């Protein structure tokens, strides 16, 4: 059995059912004017089936200054229904000639508007079933250039969405919680939809959608759902998250299992089921560090919407991107929840006989160093392990005498091996001078520091997952051209 446990709307579904335009046809009528106000006669009209339209790619309305977008709406149920409203440029919404909502400024995210994932004005309005309501939108093009999306210059777009009060206010959380309380196993599927995570738009938070109040973006309907289900079934709750990014997990201590599914395409459902049933051993490794919160990242305050007003993004973390930033915080308040390269399995592995052969060569641009190790599956089921090799430069790693700051270590390669229970295989990772070098801005060349390097054979970037530490020596410092 399944239940919907949380609403995650950002943009409400287009108003469509129950709409009739001035011509008596289903939908809306768009009237186009060459003036900044509505005049007696539009120079062009078009019908639209639902509460959204755009002039993009419509050569018939080039130069339009104002659009009146109208319909007569007859709701099939009474209630204080929920409306969402937005425009690419300044826009007004009237119901029965009464101003209900006004967007006085252009949208802050032109690309988001184009993709239908823009922030909107939200409101409620009392409707009576069967009664006609004249819905009118007056909208204009953005008065400022969309510097990041020139194709939307002088274009006009708007959206009007509606959800019935009964749907929005039904206690779906209580229904889901009650079902979890009776179930032998509760699987909670959460994540981002394309309304929250999409191309051309940066996320503004690591919190799962949707905010439960307009003033507190840290609130989350999905986090609330997980907390309630975990409390109702504390010993058998699995959280499956489908996002392309890390999320905050305030509920993690309360759930026995957490599966990050990413976006796996059309076979996502089958793949998740295979892992949950134990037919397939999970063998993935995190391609990113997983912070506890956005504020812990090196780019906090300088990313995406943080830089919207200035239109300037400063890469304040420098070379300390991702795991290189979090290497500074092991054991501290910013330690990640899950490190880069981390991943659990239904089996276990042992790494042994690790060794380094070769050396970094000044005049050889190829892979001159080989790191090898044996990996054995010591657990009960077939699985795969990914051996990661990191290179730590000679001390000091802090700036001195003009030397730029360097990360504590850098990933130089990895190798994945599939093993049956009891099976053992050798893996190899090769690297050369390019992986050992850093960019010298003064010389405009790559520099390799002389001294003793550490070669770390690990299963994640966390120090606790370093299985073997090996040494490698570069006899003298050298540079090479880009």
Six-digit token string for 424:
């053992």
The verdict on whether omega for the bond into residue 210 sits within 30 degrees of 0, i.e. cis, is yes
Say whether 349-480 and 171-329 share the same fold: no
CA distance 240 to 236: 13
How many Cβ atoms from other residues are within 10 Å of residue 452's Cβ?
A: 12
Say which residues have a Cβ less than 8 Å from residue 154's Cβ, sequence separation at least 6.
63, 141
3-state secondary structure of 104: coil
pLDDT one-digit tens code per residue, 63-72: 899 999 999 9
Place 147 in a pLDDT band, splitting at 50, 70 and 90. Answer: low
How many Cβ atoms from other residues are within 10 Å of residue 444's Cβ?
A: 10
Residue given tokens 């949380």 in the structure block? 6
Average model confidence (pLDDT) across the chain:
93
pLDDT exceeds 80 at position 396:
no
Contact 16, 68 (CB under 8 A): no
Helices (H), 297-455: 323-326, 433-436
pLDDT exceeds 90 at position 477:
yes
Six-digit token string for 139:
């909208």
Place 213 in a pLDDT band, splitting at 50, 70 and 90. Answer: confident
pLDDT exceeds 90 at position 153:
no
The verdict on whether omega for the bond into residue 396 sits within 30 degrees of 0, i.e. cis, is yes
CA 169: distance to chain centroid? 28
| Mean pLDDT to the nearest integer, 266-273 | 96
pTM of the model: 0.89
Closest CA to 249 of 277, 274, 230, 266: 230
Which carries the bigger pLDDT value, residue 108 or residue 263? 263
pLDDT exceeds 70 at position 306:
yes
Place 143 in a pLDDT band, splitting at 50, 70 and 90. Answer: confident
Q: Quick one: CA torsion of 272, 225, 194, 313, rounded to 10 degrees?
A: -110
To the question of domain 19-168 being in CATH 2.60.120.260, the answer is yes
Say which residues have a Cβ less than 8 Å from residue 238's Cβ, sequence separation at least 6.
185, 186, 187, 188, 255, 256, 257, 258, 259, 276
Concatenated DSSP letters of 261-299: ----GGGHHHHHHHHHTTSS------SS-B-SSGGGSTT
CA 75: distance to chain centroid? 36
Closest CA to 184 of 233, 124, 229: 233
> Would you call 287 exposed, middle or buried from its count of C-beta atoms within 10 A (0-12, 13-18, 19+)?
exposed
What pLDDT, on the 0 to 100 scale, is given for residue 398?
59
Six-digit token string for 445:
């060349």
Burial 468-477 (b: 16+ CB within 10 A, else e): beeebebeee
Contact 388, 411 (CB under 8 A): yes
First CA to last CA distance, the chain = 60
pLDDT exceeds 90 at position 174:
yes
User: Beta 52-54 vs 91-95: how paired, if at all?
Assistant: unpaired
What pLDDT, on the 0 to 100 scale, is given for residue 482?
79
What pLDDT, on the 0 to 100 scale, is given for residue 109?
78
Domain assignments of the chain as residue spans, ordered by start: 19-168, 171-329, 349-480
**What ranges make up the beta strands (E) of 131-210?**
133-139, 157-163, 186-191
pLDDT exceeds 60 at position 80:
yes
How many Cβ atoms from other residues are within 10 Å of residue 85's Cβ?
A: 24
Report how far apart, in Å, the C-alpha atoms of 356 and of each of 396, 430, 471 are. Answer: 23, 10, 8
pLDDT exceeds 70 at position 134:
yes
CA distance 142 to 90: 7
Closest CA to 192 of 325, 10, 426, 66: 10
How many Cβ atoms from other residues are within 10 Å of residue 120's Cβ?
A: 21
To the question of domain 349-480 being in CATH 2.60.40.10, the answer is yes
> What CATH code would you report for 171-329?
3.40.50.1700
| Mean pLDDT to the nearest integer, 196-223 | 83
Contact 345, 425 (CB under 8 A): no
What pLDDT, on the 0 to 100 scale, is given for residue 472?
97
Six-digit token string for 253:
């201590």
Region of residue 361 (left: phi > 0; alpha: psi -120 to 50; beta: else)? beta
3-state secondary structure of 176: helix
CA 133: distance to chain centroid? 39
Helices (H), 233-372: 268-276, 323-326
CA distance 77 to 71: 18
Angle subtended at Cα 310 by Cα 305 and Cα 316, rounded to the nearest 5 degrees: 75
Region of residue 339 (left: phi > 0; alpha: psi -120 to 50; beta: else)? beta
């Amino acid at each position: 059995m399944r239940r919907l446990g949380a609403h995650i709307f950002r943009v409400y579904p287009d108003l469509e059912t129950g709409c009739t335009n001035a011509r008596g046809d289903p939908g809306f009528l768009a009237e186009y004017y060459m003036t900044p106000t509505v005049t007696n006669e539009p120079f062009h009209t078009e019908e639209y089936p639902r509460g959204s339209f755009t002039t993009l790619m419509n050569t018939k309305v080039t130069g339009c200054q104002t659009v009146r977008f109208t319909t007569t709406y007859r709701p099939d149920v009474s209630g204080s229904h929920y409306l969402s409203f937005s425009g690419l440029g300044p826009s007004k919404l009237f119901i029965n000639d009464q101003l209900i909502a006004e967007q006085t400024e252009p949208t802050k995210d032109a690309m988001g508007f184009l993709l239908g994932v823009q922030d909107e004005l939200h409101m409620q309005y009392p409707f009576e079933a069967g009664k006609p309501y004249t819905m009118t939108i007056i909208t204009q093009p953005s008065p400022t250039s969309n510097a990041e999306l020139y194709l939307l210059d002088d274009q006009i777009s708007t959206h009007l969405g509606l959800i019935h009060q009964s749907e929005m206010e039904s206690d779906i959380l209580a229904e889901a919680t009650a079902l979890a309380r009776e179930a032998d196993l509760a699987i909670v599927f959460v994540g981002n939809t394309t309304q929250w995570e999409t191309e051309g738009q940066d996320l503004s938070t690591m919190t799962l959608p949707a905010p439960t109040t307009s003033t507190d973006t840290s609130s989350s309907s999905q986090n609330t759902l997980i907390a309630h289900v975990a409390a109702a079934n504390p010993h058998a709750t699995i959280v499956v998250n489908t996002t392309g990014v890390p999320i905050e997990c305030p509920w993690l201590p309360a759930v026995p299992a957490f599966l990050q599914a990413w976006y796996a395409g059309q076979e996502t459902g089958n793949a998740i089921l295979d892992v949950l049933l134990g037919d397939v051993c999970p063998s993935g490794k995190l391609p990113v560090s997983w912070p506890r919160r956005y504020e812990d990242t090196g780019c906090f305050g300088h990313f995406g919407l943080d830089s919207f007003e200035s239109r300037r993004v400063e890469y304040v973390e420098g070379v300390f991107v991702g795991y290189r930033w979090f290497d500074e915080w092991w054991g501290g308040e910013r330690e990640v929840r899950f490190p880069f390269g981390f991943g659990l399995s239904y089996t276990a592995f042992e790494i042994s006989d690790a060794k380094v052969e070769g050396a970094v060569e000044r005049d050889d641009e190829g892979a001159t160093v080989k790191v090898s190790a044996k990996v054995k599956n010591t657990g009960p089921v077939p699985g795969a392990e990914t051996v990661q090799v990191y290179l730590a430069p000679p001390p000091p790693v802090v700036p001195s005498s003009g030397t730029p700051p360097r990360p504590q270590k850098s990933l130089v390669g990895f190798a994945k091996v599939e093993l049956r229970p009891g099976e053992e295989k050798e893996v190899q990772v090769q690297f050369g001078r390019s992986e050992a070098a850093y960019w010298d801005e003064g010389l405009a060349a790559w520099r390799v520091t002389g001294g003793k390097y550490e070669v770390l054979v690990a299963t994640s970037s966390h120090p606790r997952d370093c299985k073997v530490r090996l040494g490698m020596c570069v006899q003298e410092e050298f540079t090479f051209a880009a």
